[in-house]
Each structure stands twice: as structure tokens, then as C-alpha cells.
Structure 1
Amino acid sequence: MNRAIKIAIQGGAASFHETAAKELFAASSISTLPCSSFEELCHTLQSGVADFAVMAVQNSVAGPILPNYRLLAEHGFSITAERWLLIDQMLMALPGQQLSDIKEIWSHPIALLQCNQFVEAQTNTTSKATADTADTARVIKEQKIEGVAAIASRKAAELYGLEILQENVANELDNFTRFLVIAPTPSLKVANKVTLLLPYPVVRFSLDAVLDVLSTRNLELTMLQPLPSVHPGQPEAWVLEAECHNACQITEALAALQVISPNLQVLGLYEKAKAPLPQNRLNGCLSSVLQKEPELV
């Protein structure tokens, strides 16, 4: 009998990462390994305890989670697949609580960002960042914390017996997050999407040449963003994502880009997932560098 595939996820039972893992590995038997942070997720994968990891990297409301791309680069991991998941953020509390009873709203910082309009509209409450959406619901239930509500999924409310005080509290009803499957070692294969890192000088001095490579091979640029800098000053690298219909176009484009930037780092070649929204509604993907603002280029 084949053993279950071990998948490291950020969060635990009823988390969005668990849901994404089950969808991404729908044809396999899996067991999820809960991690309290993305850093712990990466260490779990690198240690060999997990076979793969599932990691969120972009939200249609909050934008890209850029530090996660840096983690992928630092650990030498490889992206092998992606999937968009509809995020149903709900406000929940102990049974019998009313919205007027709530003094604090707890959730993961990305969830709070996705729902900041609702949170800020609750003038008599404060917010608190926690490690995970679903685990916050568990803590409220197990510790019987009154006056505190969690933002988490409907599954979390059902699992931990909390009452939903308000449905769909995200800034937009079309609230999607993109999750990646991460392998511990590089796995470069023929595919129709690429994620790579370009050194800052390449973007600073050779951006036109990079864009020309993509254009002449009919690749669509879907992300160009600077990674958060470890040291003050200019970013050290930019994350670029591009996709096409023909996998051969990616291979040709990579060969040309490696001439322009021999030190580029390929984070993954994989099959693109169908985007749930038009590109202009996938928040924060293309940097203003494309408008050639003087301070950037």
C-alpha cells in the first residue's frame, strides 16, 4: 500500500492552505503537516519531513505575498503547480455572541488586509494579527473567549462550532488566492508558465530588452515586482512571471533571457492555472516600473 504524500501547509485543519492542498492533490492520498509560519513551512520541506509544500503567493485583493518568493529563492525550491482558490472570509464568534458584543477581531495579517474595509468600519473594535485563520477560530472556541471574533472560512466555523456573525467580509466578493505546489529540489520541465528572479541591475538597465524577449515570443507578463530588500536601498532582485499557450515559447524565451541576465534564477516551470479574474483585477502584479517612472528606471 502506498503511503500518503506529506504536504507542509501554513495553518492547520480547515485552513485555506489545507483546502488548497486537497484540491491540488485531489488524485492522491495526502496527509498535511501544519506549520505556524511560512518560514517553518520551508524548514519542514527542506528537512525532508514533507514531500511537498503548498504556499500562498498572491491574493486578488491584497496583492502578491512577495516575501514568500524570497523564501523560495533562498531555499532553492521549485514551483511545480498552481491553483486559484475562492476565499470565503467569514466573521465568527462563540455561540450567543452578537456583533455588538465584539471588541476585538483576530486573524492572519493577510486575511485582515483582505478584509480591512470591514474591520475599519467596526469603530468599537480593534484588530489583532494571529498565525492562522482557522487556528484562531479553534483558540476562541477552546478557550471560550468572549468579545473576540475570528475571520476565517466557513469550514473553520463548522469545525470549531462557532457562529457566523457576518458573511463575506472581504473587501471584494471575488476574493481569490493563488497557491503553489513547492518541491524541495529544482524540477525544470517543459511547461507554459515561468517564475524567475531577475537581478536588480537587469531591470534597471535592460528592462526593454527583457520585455522585447517576452513580446517577440508572445509571452504575457503577469507579474513584475521587486522583492523586499534585506538591506536598505534598491531591491536586490525582481520577481517576474510570464505565461503563454505554447511551451516551446517559454524554452526559447528563457534561453534569450539568460543571455541578457546570466544570473537569473528560475523558481519554476509549470502549467498555468486558469485565472479567475482579468489580469487588471489581480491586484499588485505589474509594477509601476513599466510606466518608466524616473526614480525606478
Structure 2
Amino acid sequence: MKAPRVAIQGTKASFHEAAAFKYFGKDIETIECESFKKTCESMQQNEADYVVMAIENSIAGSLLPNYTLLREYNFSITGEVYLPIQLHLMALPGVKFEDIKYVTSHPIAIRQCIDFFDQFPHLQVIESSDTAACAKKISEEQLTDTVAIANTLAAELYGLNIIERRIESNRKNFTRFLILKREAVEEAHDINKASICFQVGNAVGTLAKVLNVFAEERINLSKIQSMPVLGRRNEYNFYVDIEWENFDQYDRALRRVLKYTVNFNIMGEYVKNDQV
């Protein structure tokens, strides 16, 4: 059986590839893309079977541009995976901490380690587009004065030594990734989570009516995110993740909320997977 082709933002050994491994296993073909938009284009052009896309981080919050991509490309969310974000300082073998002049990583990773670097103000921080790409550059260019902030996967793949472990300021740091497929597939009966999107009229209590329906049907709202509708004042898209124990309650809730919403869209139905 052919290995699934999975598009990720970043290079091999990035957190996106780690998330892909956690969801699919390691028998996959990783399609490296320089941006989230490129991952979507890759699947749209049938160069990938799936996209793994970060959607929120427990410290940095929601990745709002990715909600726009979800709406633009209209791919189906077929699963999710939560990944603990553990950040390590890594360098070429033999390099000691006192040899270091530069630190390079993704800006979000750098911000998540700010307490560590406050202790070493002489280090020059250089931002990059990807954690694993920084490790790769150190390896390829044999940079003896530079360290990268990345994960253990990157250290192993690019032959670097970890000289400081777990330098992130908050140890309870995780990222949620969505698994996207070009078209919805017939899901098993054990689905218990969905991501939906809708708009409501700009009138008193309209959104409350929708939320009350979910409460009455005992549907849990695990996330709600609003974003302005482009070019329309006071109009918003609401992106909502809902969970249930009884499928009939979910089905009944959707039928009821339709009369209070416009542009209602089920973005995906899947099995809840919130194990970090």
C-alpha cells in the first residue's frame, strides 16, 4: 500500500512533521512547503493526500490566518492531533555554550523561551521561518558559533547535540494540529467531534439562540473563534468546535441551529483526539 503523502509547513523534523508522525505513523511521504498556503496548494494540485496544519497554541493562541485558509480552500477536517512543544538548544558536536554568539529559531519558539535568554543578554537572536530549518542550516554550514531552538527530532536528523533541554518558559505548552483532506470521506459511527462555521444576523440575542440550542442538546462547545467577514462591517464568521456523546443529539442540534444561521458549513466531522 502506498504511503500517504502529507504536506507540512516547514522542513523535515519540524513540529509539523512530528505531528504528522504522531497521527499517521512514520510510514509517510513528507511534502515540505514554505508556507501554510503552499501546503493547501500542494493538496489542491494533487501533490499531497493530506495537510497537517497548526491551528492553535496554548501560549500563542489561535493562528488566525489559517482559519482564512480553511474557508478559502474548503478542505475537509478529518482529524486532529495535540503535540507537546518541548524546545531544546542544539549545536554541532563539540560546541560548548561559551562558544555561542547567535541563537536562531522561529519567532514564536524564541518568544516561548524568553526567560532563558534573559539570562544571556550577550546572545544575538536571529529569527527564521522554521525551527527545523535552523538546525539543518547549522549542520549544512557547520556553524560553530550558532545554536538552534528546535525539537529532538531535528537534533537526531541533522546530527546536532542538545546542550540545554526544555528551555521553554511554560512546560504546559502544546499545539493543536488539524488533519485536512481534499474531500470529505464517509466517517465511522464513532465520530464525536465536528468543526463548523456560520454567520448570524446582527441582532440582539441571535448568537445566544445558537449557543442555547447546543446547551439544550447537551453539545459541548470546546472552542469558539470569531473573525470579521472581509469587507462587511459588523459581520463575523464564527468557527466552532463541538463535541457530543450521542450522535442523535448532534444531528438534532444542527437541524435546529440552521434557522438562526446563514452560510452554515460543516468543515469536518471526526474522532476527538486531545491526548497530549
Please classify the TM superposition score into its range, dividing by the shorter chain length: 0.7 to 0.9
User: 1:121 deviation in Å?
Assistant: 4.6
Distance in 2 between residues matched to 1:197 and 1:188, nearest whole Å: 20
1:5 aligns with 2:4: yes
Q: What's 2:130 paired with?
A: 132
Most deviating of 52-61 and 32-41: 52-61
AA paired with 2:258?
A: Q
Q: Confirm or deny: 8 A CA contact 1:188 1:268 kept in the other structure.
A: no
Q: What's 2:112 paired with?
A: 114
Change (3 A) 1:255 1:19: same
User: 1:95 deviation in Å?
Assistant: 2.9
Distance in 2 between residues matched to 1:203 and 1:9, nearest whole Å: 41
Distance in 1 between residues matched to 2:255 and 2:185, nearest whole Å: 17
Distance in 1 between residues matched to 2:254 and 2:186, nearest whole Å: 11
Most deviating of 101-110 and 83-92: 101-110
State the percentage of identical aligned residues. Answer: 37
User: 1:176 deviation in Å?
Assistant: 1.7
Write the mapping of 1:241-256 to structure 2, written as runs, cut at 5 A.
241-256=241-256
Q: What's 2:139 paired with?
A: 141
Distance in 1 between residues matched to 2:221 and 2:101, nearest whole Å: 44
Find 2:166's aligned residue among 143, 150, 168. 168
Q: What's 1:63 paired with?
A: 61
Distance in 2 between residues matched to 1:203 and 1:38, nearest whole Å: 35
Q: Deviations over 1:150-201 (max 9, x none)?
A: 1111121122122222211222222222122101124475621111223264
Distance in 1 between residues matched to 2:85 and 2:30, nearest whole Å: 19
AA paired with 2:236?
A: E
Distance in 1 between residues matched to 2:111 and 2:227, nearest whole Å: 19
Distance in 1 between residues matched to 2:111 and 2:248, nearest whole Å: 39
Write the mapping of 1:1-297 to structure 2, written as runs, cut at 5 A.
2-26=1-25, 29-187=27-185, 189=187, 191-199=191-199, 201=201, 205-227=205-227, 236-276=236-276
**How many positions carry a matched residue from both structures?**
274
Q: Confirm or deny: 8 A CA contact 2:91 2:163 kept in the other structure.
A: yes
Task: Give the structure with the larger strand fraction.
Answer: 2
Distance in 1 between residues matched to 2:200 and 2:111, nearest whole Å: 28
Q: Deviations over 1:67-101 (max 9, x none)?
A: 21211111011100111122221111233333344
Q: Confirm or deny: 8 A CA contact 2:135 2:150 kept in the other structure.
A: yes
User: 1:135 deviation in Å?
Assistant: 1.6
Change (3 A) 1:199 1:155: same
AA paired with 1:260?
A: Y
AA paired with 1:103?
A: K
Change (3 A) 1:44 1:214: same
AA paired with 1:224?
A: I
Q: Confirm or deny: 8 A CA contact 1:66 1:228 kept in the other structure.
A: no
Q: Confirm or deny: 8 A CA contact 1:137 1:157 kept in the other structure.
A: yes
RMSD: 2.6
Stretches of structure 1 lacking an aligned partner (at least 5 in a row): 277-297
The DSSP-based 3-state class of the residue aligned with 1:218 is coil
Q: Confirm or deny: 8 A CA contact 1:15 1:156 kept in the other structure.
A: yes
Distance in 1 between residues matched to 2:213 and 2:67, nearest whole Å: 23
AA paired with 2:223?
A: M
Distance in 2 between residues matched to 1:83 and 1:74, nearest whole Å: 22
